Structure 1
């Protein structure tokens, strides 16, 4: 399978060079391949010259869009989608380093089912934590030990590592690390080019894909590392985000879209509540609106030390009657993906290799609701 990695860049030539170098170290299955499409959204710092002076071990398209009053992230990324030759489009920002399994992990999902929408994750590097000009073979270990996890990791610990559990997964489809089938993106109309400035054009695309029947898969192994650079949530950024939110609601005037207003308490520099607290409220409000009551009933618990079709069938059968808590103890399997392919009346609450502390917390939480069954697959 072939992927097209679409990278958006603007006046960050050193960062984009590091990003491209990280992509040169990808580990792929035999027969898989990828190209890179860099969309330069009006840079004046010599980004194009720097890219042209180097050679890469993957095909690279470089396209320059002159800056204008009409410039936007949506227009630039749509240019990349149109230019892509891969079956799968992976969005990546130019200020990130791709882990060596980044492309592999996106393709791992798409090769197992058509039409899935894959949400990857990121960690934040502190200033000068690694030398981005020369990524030595052990850079990933150094980055993992020094970086701060994306708060969406906390959401997975709280709710599940199963994307279908989130009633607001469409909002989490950030174009810094997200993939979908190219044909599906084109059929959806791609990104709405009326969005200007920063924020929400990717979530709105995710919402349209979701309403068209798309299924979100979260894959915490599809990892990137955000390179440190100064960035502030000031009044101007908040005003742009709020304007885009108003446009989003105008396009989709229904409750779950309007409920994103809860997140204003994070983006508003005069308030600045934690993103975590705001998002928990957002997700729970939408759940209440949808009247899902499965999270108040007893659960089935399945502990898996081995995978296989029998296990998947058992999980599916249990999820037809009640929520299922799946504790994945397998050393290596695709259970993290296959559990997200199950769509029954109740949620599959999946956790891979939870820590002892997390495991105790999970059992305490679900014991309070009642445990209907407890099975172990060895």
Structure 2
């Protein structure tokens, strides 16, 4: 049930706390009972305490105060956040150039059957604030909500306290916006400019990848490092998003059997998933291979067979088109997932609306005992993914990249992950040698919200052969305001195999063709 604040039988209970430790415990208890919260940065402006403007990364709400029974609430109109500049200009034109203003972190918890719960940090009244929207006679199953309501502040006291809040100027004599508004726009990658540029290069050069606030919230709730290698306890299982796992398949042989079994071994069991295998015209139909182990799987994959090979981009797009779940996980049919892979990715997707998540790989021979079928049935141990090019300590000058004349100088070495603070400082178009933020997106394992994937337009069918179709997804996701975040608490083994696409020289030529395509997309000429 989604609560509508305009209905007269709903009451917005404001509950205030001063003790940081108590609040942290309440947040953890809510996460245990209701599930992981959604995190947003929210800008709120109160004009003369009668008009309210709220904005997050996606939406903007303009409302006026109304009285509802024993309390007061807001009736609001909804817009896209890109209209923030337009609405501010309208309000300024009406003479409203000062306001009580806050730029805070908001945690929105999955709803109890009787209430909607929001936590706001660092509020205008200088205290931790929980808002509980519910029916007046609601009875709560959540013990934590009952505890929070003991700190409810009544209507008169709230009006008295808010009346003492000092307004700030929103624009100075030179027309420069308030710094809090500017900082908010930077934090959520929201432009107030009316520029109509379509160049992806300019778009990715204008946005940050600093997701530090999400790290703080994750660690506040779980007590575990969001960017650490230690697995997160499987206690935050309520209301996890569902996931569609999309596997393109072309002449994979029996390696896909281990891939499917590693999915079967995922925990906890409450995760809702579907597996879609798209056979891109393999000589031996994938369906015949899967028949050999179907009785050993707890699920039945959806198998789509194409008679003619059309390339990995179209194959992945077909899988996405028939998917039915919230999150899309793209993996190759020759990787083996650690048993906690889905949980770690879905937990982070629950936390943030716009994120493309990547994990790292270790290459392993088919005969490696760590990825034997029996080992996969038990659940594989964590791979040693330090050799992954995105995390490796050394990058040599011959590594292929798509920026011409930008190869590393002889002897240059660096660690991408540590050099960029886990990609956080790789925003604003920054490059390290041949590597930038989009090139951290690799298609053998990545997860993305379905609505964000659709916003990118999917994988581009112009790319064929080896590489970079996944980097373009990264470029488009970043342009849409998404963070690229690594997940180190899980990983994959990549099963080594002879190349299926020709010689290394042919692969290099394909890569160069695709590099030219990327350059055209970045410049806006494609």
TM-score, structure 1 normalization? 0.61
Provide the residue aligned with 1:218 in structure 2: 486
**1:14 aligned partner:** 254
Question: Equivalents in 2 of 1:242, 1:21: separation in Å?
Answer: 36
CA distance in 1: counterparts of 2:503 and 2:424, whole angstroms = 30
CA distance in 2, matches of 1:6, 1:187: 18
- Contact 1:6–1:90 under 8 Å retained in 2: yes
Q: Find the partner of 1:199 among 449, 458, 467.
A: 467
2:443 matches 1:175? yes
CA distance in 2, matches of 1:6, 1:125: 22
Whether 2:284 is the aligned partner of 1:45: answer yes
| Aligned-partner Cα distance in 1 for 2:449–2:359 | 15
Report the structure, 1 or 2, having the larger strand content: 2
Equivalent-residue separation in structure 2 for 1:227 and 1:212 (angstroms) = 33
Structure of greater Rg: 2
Deviates more, 1:122-131 or 1:110-119: 122-131
- Structure 1: how far apart are the matches of 2:249 and 2:421? 30
**Segments ≥4 residues shifted beyond 6 Å:** none
Cα drift, residue 108 of structure 1: 1.4
CA separation of 1:194/1:17 partners in 2, compared to 1, >3 Å: closer, same or farther? same
Distance 2:522 2:459 in 1: 15
RMSD: 2.3
Residue aligning to 2:452: 184
Counterpart residue number, 2:426: 166
Q: Would you say the 8 A contact 2:366–2:496 is kept in 1?
A: yes
Report the equivalent of 1:288: none
Residue 373 of structure 2 aligns to a residue whose secondary structure is: coil
Instruction: State whether residues 383 and 492 of structure 2, in contact with CA within 8 Å, keep that contact through their aligned partners in structure 1.
Output: no
3-state SS, counterpart of residue 471 of structure 2: helix
Q: Structure 2 matches for 1:1-378, cutoff 5 A? A: 1-28=241-268, 31-53=270-292, 54-55=294-295, 56-68=297-309, 71-130=310-369, 132-135=372-375, 140-141=380-381, 144=383, 149-154=387-392, 155=415, 157-167=417-427, 168-231=436-499, 234-253=504-523
- Is the 1:119–1:217 Cα contact (8 Å) retained in structure 2? yes
Instruction: Indicate the SS of the match to 2:459.
Output: coil
Q: What is the SS of the residue equivalent to 2:424?
A: helix
- State the secondary structure of the residue aligned to 1:13: coil
Q: Is the 8 A contact 2:354 2:481 kept in 1?
A: no
Moved more, 216-225 or 237-246: 216-225
Q: Larger % of helix: which? A: 1
Equivalent pair of 2:246/2:319 in contact (CA under 8 Å): yes
Secondary structure of 2:517's aligned partner: helix
Task: Provide the rounded CA distance (Å) in 2 between the counterparts of 1:52 and 1:152.
Answer: 36
> Distance between the aligned counterparts of 1:13 and 1:127, measured in 2?
12
Q: Is there any run of 5+ residues in structure 1 with no aligned partner, and where?
A: 258-378
**CA separation in 2, counterparts of 1:161 and 1:8?**
32
What are the ranges of 5 or more consecutive residues in structure 2 without an aligned counterpart? 1-240, 393-414, 428-435
| Contact 1:22 1:135 (8 Å CA) reproduced | no
Other structure's SS at 1:89 match: strand
Residues 1:216 and 1:136: Cα distance change in structure 2 (over 3 Å):
closer
Q: Deviations over 1:258-308 (max 9, x none)?
A: xxxxxxxxxxxxxxxxxxxxxxxxxxxxxxxxxxxxxxxxxxxxxxxxxxx
**How much has 1:126 moved relative to structure 2?**
3.3
CA contact (8 A) 2:250 2:281 kept: yes
Q: TM-score, normalised by structure 2?
A: 0.45
CA distance in 2, matches of 1:187, 1:173: 16
- Cα deviation for residue 217 of structure 1 reads 0.9
Report the Cα offset of residue 13 of structure 1: 2.8
